[in-house]
Amino acid sequence: MEYRIERDSMGEVQVPAGAFYGASTQRAFENFPISDRKFSRRFIWALGIVKASAAVINGRDGYVDADKAAAIVTAAEEVISGSLDTQFVLDIFQTGSGTSTNTNANEVIAHQAAVILGAAAGDRPVHPNDHVNYGQSSNDVIPTAMYIAAAAAIHEDLIPSLKSLQESLTAKAVEFVDVVKSGRTHLMDATPVTLGQEFSGYAAQVGYGVSRLEKVVTEVEELALGGTAVGSGLNAPAGFARDTIAEIARRTGLPFREAPNHFEAQAAKDAAVAVSGTLKTIAVSLFKIANDLRWLSSGPRTAISEIRLPSLQPGSSIMPGKVNPVMPEMTMQVAAQVIGNDAAITWAGANGNFELNVMMPVMSSNLDESISILATAAATLRTRCIDGIEANADRARELVEKNIIVVTSLNPHIGYDKGAEIAKEAFASGRNVREVALEKGVMTAEELDLALDLKGMTEGGIIG
């Protein structure tokens, strides 16, 4: 590989000849060969948004020469578009403020801005710190980009995906409204429900997840930009944060605003922890739904099999004809990952020391991953599983008619103890509740027909 010599405050360093970044980025690249994890596309997009917006305001207000500011905006828009993604080479596991990645952005944008201005090779008319980073610090830029990325992904990806999933579940609840089946508690037979009622519960879980997201996302719409190094705003011009954040809001179409307390915004990351907690709750909901679908479709000959999932792929390398519930299993694994990410985010959030949180890169990476995989999993579960579910109404009816717990509807008429006696005898003899109750003469045949109305039991109240 060919190299060129770059210089920073620590001296000379070899940088790959074709790299757009400079000495500081190269040092970080060599210092942190930890994993293959990089900042997400969404985060790099957000970082470009911050740099472009700052340059607009700095150029307008005369803090950066107008021609340089315009070139910085154009270069930052290349970062926004993704055309410079290969130049963002640093590992997530790096300095806890994310300074290395902020520097990476400053150097790449300064290089591109110089090219735009027609600078000769070796000339540096745009300085990474003095011009691209004017009025900023890594300590307020990185949390700002983290929150922009999270808020945008929630609004644009996760909420729409969950709303579509809720709609599909609601449609199935309507479709299955008359399919009576056994309810189950503790995995044991309970009083009847309809399959539609079960699916209405799933739809409501997802709906509550959307409501929780819509409330908590407002917390990450407060941006730290303007606090610079420690929250005091040293070296940031008056009005810089307010106007830059207004430009960020204009570019993204989202209601970002300046944090009212910059010391909280930089020392703590409680908003990120709160968002992650909501993501974890949504993951738990999706896990519950997916796991139920596995149970309800289990068999198909020797277990519950009250629903049929779409057959998507062979399920075994040795058992011909086996088909597995792959979409629910995928969803459950995504949920497990989000729950694990939340643990890392929670611990990272706890590590704010005095004026700065020092675990922001891993927090941002996990937050972005949780939002992304939840959005994609919900969409995939909907299109490849939920929309194609069919009720096995005959099987549901067969099982509910064997259910001795339907005796519960007789309690108001004959009492709990007599009902328990009938249930035990029905179980021991292999007969159904109606047969045993009629034999014991506790009610007439007509009364039993009314009291043991299976559909009626799903509607509440006293039956008969």
**Which tokens sit at 275?**
């968002």
Where would I find the beta strands (DSSP E) of 244-300? 257-258
- From the list 9, 35, 186, 317, the catalytic residue is 186
Is 152 within 8 Å of 49 (Cβ atoms)? no
**Nearest 5°: phi and psi at 313?**
-165, 155
**Which tokens sit at 247?**
């430009």
* Angstrom distance (rounded) from CA 422 to CA 439: 10
186 is catalytic: yes
Is 140 within 8 Å of 94 (Cβ atoms)? no
Judging by beta carbons within 10 Å of its beta carbon (0-12, 13-18, 19+), is residue 166 exposed, middle or buried? buried
226 in the Ramachandran plot: left (φ > 0), alpha (ψ -120 to 50) or beta? left
Tell me the β-bridge partners of 14: 5
- From the list 211, 232, 311, 316, the catalytic residue is 316
Tell me the β-bridge partners of 91: 38
Is 124 within 8 Å of 114 (Cβ atoms)? yes
Say which residues have a Cβ less than 8 Å from residue 286's Cβ, sequence separation at least 6: 206, 331, 334, 335, 374, 377, 378, 381
Q: Kind of pairing, strands 188-194 and 307-308? A: unpaired
Selection from 47, 48, 42, 13 nearest residue 27 by Cα? 13
316 is catalytic: yes
How far separated are the first and last CA of the chain, in Å rounded? 86
Per-position DSSP letters for 315-350, written without gaps between them: --SSSTT-B--HHHHHHHHHHHHHHHHHHHHHHHHH
Selection from 308, 276, 277, 286 nearest residue 166 by Cα? 286
**Which tokens sit at 185?**
């508690």
Q: Which residues are catalytic?
A: 186, 316
